Structure 1
Amino acid sequence: MTPYEHKVQYYETDGMGIVHHSNYIRWFEEARVDLLEQLGYGYDRIEAEGFGSPVLEVCCKYKTMAHFGDMVSISAHIIEYNGVRMALRYEVRDAQTGELRCEGESRHCFMGREGRPVSLKRSWPALDRVFAAQL
């Protein structure tokens, strides 16, 4: 999969001129959305089929600072998947130097329209195979 690239915007920085910590979590989501689109199953398609994927947990370890105007490259990889839950790992790197800015993980589950957990293995086997193949 191709890493997602993001140019740091001025509004994402704080009074010290560095990216505010909350934006890295947003970038994780941008990279996750991009990954799903690359797999052919964007959130719009998943939701149109009646499924949701709420965030259960997210963590981020900050390593070095990004600044306004920097270009960052965010890789997202599925690291766990069992048909009902999925975990992804992220790395945010400076796009020019490759220096690690932060790393993190997010955990999700799959739910149907009624708000109950569902197994993609039974409910959407094609998507289940795509996710399982990423491990």
Structure 2
Amino acid sequence: MTGSEIIAEAAPPARVRLAVADVLYSHRVCPAEVDGFNVVHFSNYLRWVSAALMELFEKAGLGPGRFCDGTVEIRVGRAQMAYVSSARLGDPIEASIRSVEFDRSSMILGCAVQANGRVLSRGRLTIAFVLSATGALTPVPDEVRAALARGRAA
């Protein structure tokens, strides 16, 4: 190697944060979602946030989790939820996606679940993009970034 050769290292991609209008999934707590004390089981909060994510995709004109002509899919990489209060049988809940943040191969969603105007839980859901054939991580498809950027003003 001569002194004139430069070795360039790829810089990590900068995070891009998009504020989005709350995407709501509304639902009334049903008997199958509660325990013997009529309190909602914790796993349902993540299920409701997942439904809000599907609504976000639909509003942005994206399919149900398959992109690039079916060669790229999404997987949950990490779920972090802080539980503040409990929903009970019959409560009307609203799950929302409050923000979307991208890095190279994932999308981090800020989310919350409310009932009767009070926050029940809030958290972050990291969604990884993977190749359908192998499950290997792959960059966030441009179609996803563009669709969510267009929808952020909605």
TM-score (structure 2 length as normaliser): 0.74
The one-letter amino acid of 1:46's match is F
Cα gap change, 1:71 to 1:42, in 2 (>3 Å): farther
> Whole-Å Cα distance in 2 between the matches of residues 77 and 26 of structure 1?
16
Gaps in structure 2 of 5+ consecutive residues: 1-20
Are 2:53 and 1:32 aligned? Answer: yes
Question: Equivalences for 1:1-135 in 2 at 5 Å?
Answer: 1=21, 2-43=23-64, 46=67, 49-94=70-115, 97-114=116-133, 115-120=135-140, 124-132=141-149, 134=152
Q: How large is the RMSD of aligned CA atoms in angstroms?
A: 2.2
Larger radius of gyration: 2
Pairwise CA distance, 1:132: 4.6
- SS of the residue corresponding to residue 54 of structure 1 reads strand
In terms of fraction of residues, the more helix-rich structure is 1
TM-score (structure 1 length as normaliser): 0.83
Structure 1 outlier segments of 4+, above 6 Å: none
Pairwise CA distance, 1:45: 5.2
Gaps in structure 1 of 5+ consecutive residues: none
> Whole-Å Cα distance in 1 between the matches of residues 125 and 109 of structure 2?
5
The one-letter amino acid of 1:76's match is I
Show CA shifts across 1:81-122 (max 9, x none).
02411100111111xx311111111101111222222223xx
Number of corresponding residues: 130
